[in-house]
Structure 1
Amino acid sequence: MNFSGKSVIITGAGKGIGRATAQLLAHRGAGVVAISRTRSDLDSLNAEIGGRSIVADLSVPSEARAAMAEAAGCDFLINCAGTNVLESVLEMTDEGYDRVLGINLRSALICAQEFARARIAAGGGGAIINVTSIAGHRGFQYHVCYAASKSGLEGATRVMARELGPYGIRVMAVAPTVTMTELAAQAWSDPVKSQPMLARHPAGRFADAADVASAIALLLSDDARMLTGSMLAVDGGFLAV
C-alpha cells in the first residue's frame, strides 16, 4: 500500500482517527491536506509529516466549501471530522442536534459534494471514505444525535457510491467500535460503562486510532479496487456477536 504520487484531503486531521490516518498515509508516501478548526493541532501535525493545512470550522457550510476549494486537486477524501453531545432522547436540545448533525453529517456531505465535483471536472477517479460508527448499528444510551448522524452518513455513502460510480469514484465507510480518542474518553472512561461493552468484543479490546487508519488505507489501495458502497466494521467482532 504505497501512495506515492497520490494526495489526500483529511477532515478532522488535528486529532484522533484523522490525525492517525494523516500520519499513516504520509508515511506511505501520500501528500496530505489536513483540515481542522484548531491551528495548533495542524501546526504540530505539519511538523511531523509536512503537507498542507487548512483551518476551517466545517460546521459552517461556507467555510467547508471554501476549505474544499483550497484543497482541490487531490485523489482521495477522508471525512473524519466528528463530534458528539451526550444527550438522551428526552434531554435532546436544538443546540446539541445542530452541533452533531452539522459536523458529522452535513459537513461530510458538503465536502464529498465539492470533492466529487472537482474530480469529475478533472476526468474522474479517486475515492471517498466516510468515518461512521457502530453507534449507527446499535442503540447506545445518550447517543441519539450521534447515531442519527452516523446512520445517515452510511445511507448517503450508498447513494454516493451509486451516483459517482460512473465517474470512477469509489465511496465507502468505515464504522469503528469504541476508539480511544479524546472524544471517546468522554463517553467511555467510566469502567462501570466500559467493561460490559468491552466484554462484547471477541478481540478483547477497544480499537485505537491506528487500527482505523490501517483499515482506511486498505480501502484506498488498489487491492480494494472492486469495493464501493461498502461499510467496513472496524470493531473487533462486536457486530458479529
Structure 2
Amino acid sequence: MDLGLAGRRALVTGAGKGIGRSTVQALHAAGARVVAVSRTQADLDSLVRECPGVEPVCVDLGNWEATEQALSSVGPVDLLVNNAGVALLQPFLEVTKEACDTSFDVNLRAVIQVSQIVARGLIARGAPGAIVNVSSQASQRAVTNHSVYCSTKGALDMLTKVMALELGPHKIRVNAVNPTVVMTPMGQANWSDPHKAKTMLDRIPLGRFAEVENVVDAILFLLSDRSSMTTGSTVPVDGGFLAT
C-alpha cells in the first residue's frame, strides 16, 4: 500500500535510537524528507550515513531555550512524530524531584513546544498536517515503579485529544500510538529477566512483545492520508494488553 508520503517533510524527535530511528528510516525509504532530532550527535552522524539526505538537529529537548533556537528556523514541516522520551523508574516512595522534572520536561513539555512550532508553521502556510505522539500502554495501566512515567504518558494521551480538538479546524490531525513493551535494544535489556517478562506476557493475549516495525507501521499509517478521518485517537499496539 502506497501511503503517499513521498515529497512530504517530516520531523522526528528521539531519532537516534529505537522507534525514532526506525521511523526515520521508514519515512526516508518512503520518499519523505526527514528532519531527525536527537540529543546524541554520534547517533545522528550514523543515521545520516545510513539515510543520505536526512537533516540532523542535535538538541536536548529538555532545554526549552535550546529547543526554540534549534527548531525556530527548521522550515516547513508537514508531518511530526513526537517520539523522544525518558523512563526513569523509581518506587513511588523514592520518586525524586529530578526524575519528575526531567520526565515531564521531555515526555510532555517538549511535545507541547515542538508541536507548537510545527503547528504554527502549518497554520501560517494554510497547509494540512499530521502529528503522532508516541505514548504507551502505561498511560492506561499502572505498572510498578513507573509512577512518573505512567503519569507523563497519561498526560500525553489527554494532550493528544486537546491538540486534536484545537488543531482540527486547521486541518491538522493529532493521534497517539500506545505500544506495549517494544523489542528495541532498551526494551530487550529492560525485559531480559524471564520472570519479569512472564508477568507482562501473561497479560498480553497474543503472548508476545511488539517488534519495532509494528509500531512504525502504525505511526506511518497515522501520518498518511489513509487515516484522514482519524484524529484524537490513542491506538494500542499492544497485542491486546489493554483489552484485558
Asked whether the 8 Å contact 1:84–1:183 carries over to 2, the reply is: no
Deviates more, 1:203-212 or 1:139-148: 203-212
Q: Which residue of 2 aligns with 1:64?
A: 67
Over residues 61-94 of structure 1, what are the superposed CA-to-partner deviations in whole Å (9 max), with x where a residue is unaligned? 1122223223230101100001111112101001
1:12 to 11, 14, 18: 14
1:237 to 219, 235, 240: 240
Q: Which residue of 1 aligns with 2:37?
A: 35
Does residue 129 (structure 1) correspond to residue 132 (structure 2)? The answer is yes
- Structure 1 gap ranges (5+): none
Q: 2:104 aligns to what SS in structure 1?
A: helix
Q: Distance in 2 between matches of 1:82 and 1:238?
A: 21
Provide the aligned C-alpha RMSD in A: 1.2
Q: Which residue of 1 aligns with 2:93?
A: 90
- How far the C-alpha of 1:186 sits from its partner, in A, is 4.8
Q: Which residue of 2 aligns with 1:110?
A: 113
Over residues 134-156 of structure 1, what are the superposed CA-to-partner deviations in whole Å (9 max), with x where a residue is unaligned? 00111000101101111101101
Q: 2:72 aligns to what SS in structure 1?
A: helix
Asked whether the 8 Å contact 1:68–1:115 carries over to 2, the reply is: no
Q: Which residue of 1 aligns with 2:160?
A: 157
Does residue 81 (structure 1) correspond to residue 84 (structure 2)? The answer is yes
Q: Which amino acid aligns with 2:158?
A: G
Q: Which amino acid aligns with 2:200?
A: M
Aligned residues between the structures? 241
Over residues 101-133 of structure 1, what are the superposed CA-to-partner deviations in whole Å (9 max), with x where a residue is unaligned? 111111111111111111111113101100000
Q: Which residue of 1 aligns with 2:227?
A: 224
Query: How much identity, in percent, do the aligned residues show?
Result: 46
Deviates more, 1:97-106 or 1:33-42: 97-106
Q: Distance in 1 between matches of 2:185 and 2:75?
A: 29
Q: Structure 1 length normalisation: TM-score?
A: 0.97
Q: Which residue of 1 aligns with 2:143?
A: 140
- Structure 2 gap ranges (5+): none
Q: Structure 2 length normalisation: TM-score?
A: 0.95
- How far the C-alpha of 1:183 sits from its partner, in A, is 3.4
